[in-house]
Amino acid sequence: MDKLRKWLLANRTSVRMAFILRICGMGVGSLASLVFARLLLRAMGDGLNGLYLAYLAAAGLGGLGDLGVSMSVAVRAGQMVGEKKDEELRKYLASARALVLILSLLMGCSFILLSPWLPHWLHFKEVPGSGSLKVLFVYAGVSAALTILAGYIHSVNFAFGTVTWPVLPTILIGQISAPFFHWLLARQGFPLWVQVLPYGAATLLNAWLAWRMLKWAHPWLGNLLPIVINRRIWGDLATTSVWSFLCSMGWLIYRSTDRLLINAGFGSAVIPAYNYNYKLCDLATTLILTASFVSVPKITQWLASKEPADRQRALTESMRLNTFQTLLGCMAALVYLGINDAFIRLWLGPQYQVPLFLQLAFAWNLAVTTSGDAALQMTFRFGNDGLKIAGLAIAGTGILNLALSYAAMKMHWIAGIAVATAIAQSGLTLFCGVRICRRLEIPMIRWVARCWVLPVTVVTLGGGIRYLLAPDTVGGAIGLVAAFGALMAGVAWGSGFGLRAFADEWRTLRSMINAKR
């Protein structure tokens, strides 16, 4: 343990180590999620598993209870650490702790007090093995309070530059241990509110470990006392947290709308097939967006520079990032359309396969999300009003997603819920793309063609080819691979990503891996 502690202290701020662990964690987490999703589905059954997935979406609403304060603390405290304003930071954190504590109690008590009515309002219905839904939502209140409190600890860790440590507990505790104990409880037939207890324990344990790590590295930053009410500091927090809250609210709508509306309009037993057919798209999106994790910090610095050469470099790297993510997003969408039926059949069974049009809607969302990510990331960071503009855009398109999804649910069109997400994501991509083009003074038509027209067209053509050439026979599989290969060659040519660009990306990746701290 002493050697492990020394290693953690030595590598706590290593961006390279954090990146390597992040990639490894994504691989381990993806594999674990596939394994435990199958085990839990078999142990719980469609109805109970669908109810559990819908509950996760509803419980996620509790995360909004911090009103964006955690993100604001991470940003402002990080600035003070860099400026070495220790005394000011002490006062700031003492006041932030008071606000976080109040918000956690308010959100937890709100869930608990409303627990007799929340299941009815959200159209939750008891299924065999579910147990009391009222108790389930009481637990949701406790979980929400713990999440908000843990968010403060993780934000201070991030502000201090501790980017390596949090990866390890998240993998071992959150992605492996908690689902394992959930599976054991599900096999024994415990009610749902008991089955989800391991996740609350994981949140608490992860927070405790993050706090201990912070105390090891910088003792006074890990102080939980004093707790002071300071209205001036609260006002400073509110200045940025309102826009952070809008971002969180918008993303939560994107993530949770589908499951809640399907549960309300079609029943919980339908959710597993819908949710798990999006699994490959979700994993691919997470992987591709990691490119922003590597590139955006440097791009942000160049954008903020007054030197023309730096701004030109920011423009060049932004275009390269956009091209790279567009190419990978289109490729992943075509691969998804080609293999998803076989993947679902082998993973869960043929009864969980869904119509091709629903898969096409998922593929649209994957391609549009990844192709527009560069513009979104730059919108966050470009100018003093970047967070405000991004928050309004994400919240606005999130509300559009909710409205369109609700209309589709009322029409009993389940694929329409996925189409609504793709439409809303398209709106976000186009808005951010147009704004960045104006700020960087680059051709708007070219950017929009690459980050929206190209992926939508390619995925639509891919869906048509998949309809005509089902990979059920050797001839059909060969024809599908050849046709998709021709489409990808067209994407590479249309986006300007040739062999030379590929070689440049490979050299950049190697230099990043081999770079010294």
Query: CB neighbours of 227 closer than 8 A, spacing ≥ 6?
Result: 94, 97, 98, 101
d(CA 423, CA 413): 15
d(CA 158, CA 166): 9
Stated pTM of the model: 0.82
Task: Name the token pair of 403.
Answer: 């409205």
Q: What is the structure's pLDDT at 399?
A: 92
Task: Name the token pair of 499.
Answer: 């062999």
Kindly report, residue by residue over 178-214, the tens digit of the pLDDT.
999 999 999 999 999 999 999 999 999 988 888 887 7
Task: Name the token pair of 291.
Answer: 């490119």
Identify the DSSP state of 62.
G
Q: What is the structure's pLDDT at 23?
A: 65
Q: What is the structure's pLDDT at 515?
A: 46
Residue showing tokens 């997400």: 421
For residue 131, the SS3 value is coil
Q: Is 85 exposed, middle or buried (0-12, 13-18, 19+ CB in 10 A)?
A: middle
Structural Rg of the chain based on CA atoms = 23
Q: 227 and 101 in contact (C-beta within 8 Å)?
A: yes
Q: What is the structure's pLDDT at 502?
A: 59
Of 147, 142, 138, 145, residue with least CA distance to 118: 138
List, for the chain, all residue ranges whose pLDDT scores fall below the cut of 70. Answer: 1-23, 25-26, 75, 78-79, 81-83, 158-167, 291-306, 310-311, 381-384, 494-517
Q: What is the structure's pLDDT at 352?
A: 93
d(CA 119, CA 59): 11
Residue 34's CB is within 10 A of a number of other CB atoms, namely 17
Query: CB neighbours of 205 closer than 8 A, spacing ≥ 6?
Result: 169, 173
DSSP 390-420: HHHHHHHHHHHHHHHHHHHHHTT-HHHHHHH
d(CA 495, CA 489): 10
